[in-house]
Amino acid sequence: MSENCSHDCSSCSENCSSRDKKSFLKKPHELSDIKKVIAVVSGKGGVGKSMTCALLAAAARDKGKVTAIMDADITGPSIPLMFGVHERASGSENGILPVVTQSGIQVMSMNVLLEDETEPVVWRGSLISGTVLQFWTDVIWTGVDVMFIDMPPGTGDVPLTVFQSIPLDGIIIVTTPQDLVGMIVKKAVNMAQMMNVPVLGIVENMSYIECPDCGRKISVFGDSVVDAFALENGIPAVAKIPVDADLTRAADSGKLEEVKNNYLSAFFDKITKNMNI
């Protein structure tokens, strides 16, 4: 505790021992029903975080779970595109209703609120964080077994808001094989530890290319270190996604739900084994 402590945690950014970790948690909409919440994070952009989030949601839906995605990447939303969602969200006097994908995944994203989905969102951090919080408090999420939150990269305003304001059951970290990215993703691990949120698993995207002729796995970015990284940091589950042109085409054409080879299906089973989902 700082010697200048005012004992008013609402106006303080210090992470001291006297702070009640639950003091900032916000309740969801009174009509919402959400059982488990998992955030998908990365230390930097461009590692496939949104793809990972979408594949996890598709895997959960394939297993019969009522699934939702909160797209917290306000300035770079890509979740609606991957699922072929272009209509705008609707609402009533009770609250905002998420859009629903072809297979039944509930989605809320900045792109489903804009008149023109190509319109840029040029906002300051506080407004962006407030909008993400409204996705939690003002949207009516119906009977959700598991919600995935697609976070913006890094450890800035929005990740801090989500960690402090939404009751997370855990996070999944996305990285790529490069050592530099491995160093950066350590920041996400440390942030989770600071906020007392468990790291459920780590996904290494662009892990390898599979030869179409012989099936040999080629590590184009060097040997993977994700297993050693997970062991070193006590992360219980690991998954590897290859460079897959079919997967990219499906995402670009809004048909991710139709992907037959979901690389994260077994990973989803492992991370949720003891979560009663």
Which SS3 state, helix, strand or coil, does residue 61 take?
helix
For the segment 70-80, the average pLDDT, to the nearest whole number, is 95
pLDDT top residue among 20 and 128: 128
For the segment 263-274, the average pLDDT, to the nearest whole number, is 94
Burial of 138 (0-12, 13-18, 19+ CB in 10 A): middle
pTM (2 d.p.): 0.89
Query: What rounded mean pLDDT belongs to the chain?
Result: 90
| Residue 238, token pair as written in the block | 């690991």
Distances (CA, A) of 265 to 177, 188, 207: 21, 23, 17
pLDDT in tens, 123-156: 998 999 999 999 999 999 999 999 999 999 888 8
Number of H helices, E strands in the chain: 8, 12
pLDDT top residue among 246 and 1: 246
User: Which CATH superfamily groups domain 30-264?
Assistant: P-loop containing nucleotide triphosphate hydrolases (3.40.50.300)
Length of the chain measured in residues: 277
pLDDT score at 63: 95
